Amino acid sequence: MAPTPTHTAAAVALAAHDSSGHLAPLTITRRSTGDDDVAIKILYCGMCHSDLHSIKNEWHNATYPMVPGHEIAGVVTEVGKNVTSFKAGDRVGVGCMVNSCQSCGSCDEDFENSCRAVIFTYNSVDRDGTVTYGGYSSSVVVHERFVVRFPDAMPLDRGAPLLCAGITVYSPMKYHGLNVPGKHVGVMGLGGLGHVAVKFAKAFGAKVTVISTSPGKKQEALDRLGADAFVVSKDAEEMKAAASTMDGIINTVSANLTLAPYMGLLKPNGKMIMVGLPTKPLEIPPFDLIIGNKTLAGSCIGGMRDTQEMINVAAKHGVTADIELVAADYVNTAMERLAKADVRYRFVIDIGNTLKNSE
């Protein structure tokens, strides 16, 4: 077993200490840069809804103190002697994972997200036995395999959320054949995930229909995000008119919904891919799957090769997240607003300019 890296580099972080989820400044330590590591000065970190669930222990797996954040963007400050892909000064990002076993079948096929020993960016146990701390902090040290290069055309602030939200919707489109021009893709929910899904589907040349319970989002979906159509799911006539028209649906909704009406929007052989996380078990009559030969699937982020591919495609097509940039001392208010879905569409913390002044 490799010697345990020494944790000597001090970093400033925002941490939750209990299930109240209140975030407060905390000095943490990062490991010294190992031979295969990349040390990163964090400039921006997106605020994912997962962060809110985690700091409040809503998934019942919290280890405190917890430093959330897995949409990290910054600049390389140091690399280990074995690192060949990055150098000091490079613009980079870190998403939901910081390590894996790197030797199983999933890792060999570049699906590290499916590795049974995957180590998540925060609230996970690292190889040296320490608990991982996320991107609400001034720096991070990560194995080079789990670092993403940002193309010059990709802004760090608006690109950071793509490291979770982007890959979460890009991967199912790729692996379920929805990244082909001419497909009709439905996007359920128009939040942090949904608005990025619309942009990627349009970049792939698809016809895009947003499916939402909120009529007030129609103009924004059509005029600003570029969707082709909008269906109010509470309107029976609109749902009937859209029945059997879609090749696939990316379901980003975390609310507990009856899925049968939405499955009815799919063409025969159509697929609904779940990327949201409702709290209750799904209920769907078997006939709604069997009649029409339909598929209900799930997708969890993506591997590192696909994540780099995603950020490259996004840069090529100008796909970025719509963000509200906030200071570190606003983070608790931002969490309260996030809980009410009061953001269009992703909060990003200006770590580089504001965290050092937040203590």
Domain-embedded: residue 310: no
Number of neighbouring beta carbons within 10 Å of residue 286: 7
- Does position 320 have pLDDT exceeding 70, yes or no? yes
CA distance 58 to 22: 14
Contact present, 338 and 347 (Cβ < 8 Å): yes
Q: What are the helix (H) ranges across the chain?
A: 49-55, 105-108, 156-159, 165-175, 192-203, 218-219, 236-241, 260-263, 287-290, 304-317, 331-339, 351-354
Q: Output Rg (C-alpha) for the chain, integer angstroms.
A: 20
Are 231 and 108 in a shared domain?
Answer: no
Q: Give pLDDT tens digits for 34-51.
A: 999 999 999 999 999 999
What's the pLDDT score for residue 267? 98
Q: Write the pLDDT tens digit of every residue in 263-273.
A: 999 999 999 99
Q: Does a structural domain hold residue 71?
A: yes
Instruction: Report d(CA 302, CA 198) in Å as an integer.
Output: 18
Q: Are residues 221 and 238 in the same domain?
A: yes
In this predicted structure, what is the pLDDT of residue 8?
Answer: 74
Domain boundary among 298, 314, 333: 298
On the question of pLDDT at 2 being above 60, the answer is no
One domain, residues 236 and 277: yes
Same domain, 155 and 48: yes
Instruction: Name the phi and psi angles at 239, rounded to 5.
Output: -65, -40
Q: For the chain, how many structural domains are there in total?
A: 2
Residue 80 lies in a domain: yes
Q: Are residue 347 and residue 292 in the same domain, yes or no?
A: no
At 330, phi and psi to the nearest 5?
A: -100, 0
pLDDT tens for residues 145-173?
Answer: 999 999 999 999 999 999 999 999 999 99
The answer as to whether 316 is a domain residue is no
User: Is 293 inside any structural domain?
Assistant: yes
Residue ranges making up the domain that contains 18: 7-164+322-354
Between CA 70 and CA 95, with CA 206 as vertex, the angle to 5 degrees is 10
Q: pLDDT class for 1, splitting at 50, 70, 90? A: very low
| CB-CB contact of 169 with 193 (8 Å) | yes
Instruction: Compute the mean pLDDT over every residue in the chain, rounded to the nearest whole number.
Output: 95
| Domain of residue 268, CATH code | 3.40.50.720
For residues 316-329, give the mean pLDDT.
98
Residue 278 pLDDT grade (very low, low, confident, very high; cuts 50, 70, 90): confident
The answer to whether residue 195 sits within a structural domain is yes
Beta partners for 148? 93
Q: What is the reported pLDDT for 39?
A: 98
Q: Are residues 157 and 239 in the same domain?
A: no
Residue 315 belongs to a domain: no
If we measure between CA atoms, which residue out of 105, 37, 149, 116 comes closest to residue 300? 116
Could you tell me if 11 and 140 lie in one domain?
A: yes
Residues 273 and 338 in one domain: no
Lowest mean pLDDT among 73-82, 278-287, 344-353: 278-287
Q: Domain check: are 193 and 236 in the same one?
A: yes
56 φ/ψ angles, rounded to the nearest 5 degrees: -95, 5
Q: How far apart are CA 269 and CA 271, in angstroms?
A: 7
Choose among 290, 293, 346: nearest CA to 48: 346
Whether residue 195 sits in one domain with residue 52: no
- How many other β-carbons are positioned within 10 Å of the β-carbon of residue 255? 11
Enter the pTM of the model.
0.95
CB neighbours (10 Å) of residue 170? 30
Provide the pLDDT for residue 3.
41
**Helix axes 304-317 and 165-175, enclosed angle (nearest 10):** 100
Span 58-64, average pLDDT: 94
Residues 211 and 103 in one domain: no
Residue 294: predicted pLDDT:
97
Q: Using the predicted structure, report yes or no on whether residue 330 has a pLDDT greater than 50.
A: yes
> Can you give the pLDDT at residue 346?
96
Closest CA to 113 of 89, 130, 97, 129: 97
Same domain for 157 and 290? no
Is 314 part of a structural domain of the chain?
Answer: no
Can you give the pLDDT at residue 5? Answer: 57
